[in-house]
Amino acid sequence: MEDKENISISVHIAGRSYPLKVKESDADIIKGIADQVNEKVTYFQRTYENRDKQDCLSMAVLTFAVDYHRLKEKMNSSNISEKVDKLDKMLEDLIQ
């Protein structure tokens, strides 16, 4: 049943085509991410003209990895779970 939700798409990253099978609901997100990766690669190609496409792709991926790590650390340090528990307790107190 899950296979029926999957569709075939093709994304182009750094001049190469990659066929993928993804959930239909994820297709636009994945295409958007591929566009962002291409923008970063293009930026690095313009900034570092003496680097080949593989170097620029690696720098783009590293940039996204650093951004992901910072976001993950920020979310962990903000104690979201603790805040949700406090809100839940406040709501329970209001209801009772």
For the chain, the structural domain boundaries read: 2-95
pLDDT beyond 50 at 1: no
pLDDT beyond 60 at 3: no
**Torsion sign (Cα): 32, 10, 69, 83:** positive
Mean pLDDT of the chain: 89
CA 75 to chain centre: 15
Q: State the DSSP H helix or E strand holding residue 79, giving kind and residue range, or none if neither.
A: none
> What was the pLDDT predicted at 36?
96
Under the banding of pLDDT at 50, 70 and 90, the label for residue 75 is confident
